[in-house]
Amino acid sequence: MDSIDPDTLIKAYAIGVFPMGESATSETLYWVDPEWRGILPLETFHVPRRLVRTIKTGPFTIRIDTSFRTVMEACAEDTNGRGGTWINASILDTYCELHARGVTHSIECWREDKLVGGLYGVSLGRAFFGESMFSRERDASKVALVYLVALLRRGGYVLLDTQFVTGHLEQFGALEIPRDEYKEKLAAALEGKPGDFYSLAAGADGSVGVDSSDILQSISQTS
C-alpha cells in the first residue's frame, strides 16, 4: 500500500494539497488540489434554530482529543448510505502519528461512556482543515461542528477548510472559492502565532469547560 510520510503530509497541507484514498481497501492514494475549494467562513457561521434548541438541552458531553483513532475509524465506516470511504489504512496510521505530534485533532460527542459522534482534522498555524465527521445519534456531528467553530474563533483561527461543499455544510454557510483565492487565505493563516486548539478545554479528561449558552453566544449567526 502507498504510504504517506508525515512531514510530507504537513508540507502538502501548507500549500493547499491533501490526500485521498480510492477506497478503504485501495492501495492507491491521490493528492488533491481542487480548482474550487470549500471553506466555512468563521465570521459568518450560522446555526439553524432547531440545532440551537438541541445544543441548549446539552445532550452530549463534548471532549477534545480523547479518542482520535476511534473517531477516524468511525468516520471510515460505510454507514448511512455514504457509499464507502476514502480513509484507508495508510491515511489512518499517518494521521494518528500526526495526532501524537499535536497536528491532528478530534472533537467528540459522548453520551455517558459511548462515543456517538464527532469530527477530526488538521491544524496548521491559524488554519484548520476539516477532514470527516460521523454521527451515531441525531445531530451529533452537527453539535461537534458548532463546538469546533466556537473553539476556532476563541483560539484565534482565521480559516476553516472543508475541502468540498455538501448540502450538510451549506446550512452552516459553507461556500466555494477559487483555488488562487483559497491559497491566499491559507498563506495568511499560516503567518504569525498559531491558533490555540485547546481554547475550550478543561481538565485532564479532555472535556470542554464552557457551557452551551456561552458556546451559542460566541456564535451569533442563526437561521
Kindly compute the dihedral angle of the four CA atoms of residues 194, 118, 183, 7, in this order, to the nearest 10 degrees.
70
Three cell numbers at 131?
477532514
Per-residue pLDDT tens over the stretch 59-106 = 999 999 999 999 999 999 876 555 557 898 899 999 999 999 999 999
Asked if residues 106 and 65 have their Cβ atoms less than 8 Å apart, the reply is yes
Residue 222's Cβ-count burial label (10 Å; 0-12, 13-18, 19+) is exposed
Radius of gyration of the chain (CA): 16
Residue 111 lies in a domain: yes
Residue 26 lies in a domain: no
Q: What is the pLDDT of residue 83?
A: 52
Segments forming the whole domain that contains residue 168: 34-67+103-222
Per-residue pLDDT tens over the stretch 121-131 = 999 999 999 99
Residue 115 lies in a domain: yes
Residue 109 lies in a domain: yes
Residue 198 lies in a domain: yes
Determine the residue type at 127. Answer: A
CATH number of residue 174's parent domain: 3.40.630.70
Residue 96 lies in a domain: no
Q: Is the pLDDT of residue 222 over 80?
A: no
Identify the weakest region by mean pLDDT among 19-23, 70-74, 194-198.
Answer: 19-23
Q: What is the pLDDT of residue 115?
A: 98
Q: What is the pLDDT of residue 210?
A: 86
Kindly report whether the global pTM for this prediction surpasses the value 0.85. Answer: yes
Residue 182 lies in a domain: yes
Total of domains in the chain: 1
Pairing of strands 104-111, 114-124: antiparallel
Find the helix or strand (DSSP H, E) in which 221 lies: strand 221-222
Residue 44's Cβ-count burial label (10 Å; 0-12, 13-18, 19+) is exposed
Q: Is the pLDDT of residue 44 over 50?
A: yes
Per-residue pLDDT tens over the stretch 127-186 = 999 999 999 999 999 999 999 999 999 999 999 999 999 998 999 999 999 999 999 999
Residue 93 lies in a domain: no
Rounded Cα gap, residues 82 and 61, in angstroms: 26
120 phi/psi in degrees, rounded to 5: -145, 160
Rounded Cα gap, residues 14 and 29, in angstroms: 18
Q: How far is CA 189 from CA 8, 23, 80, 102, 195, in A?
A: 19, 31, 34, 18, 9
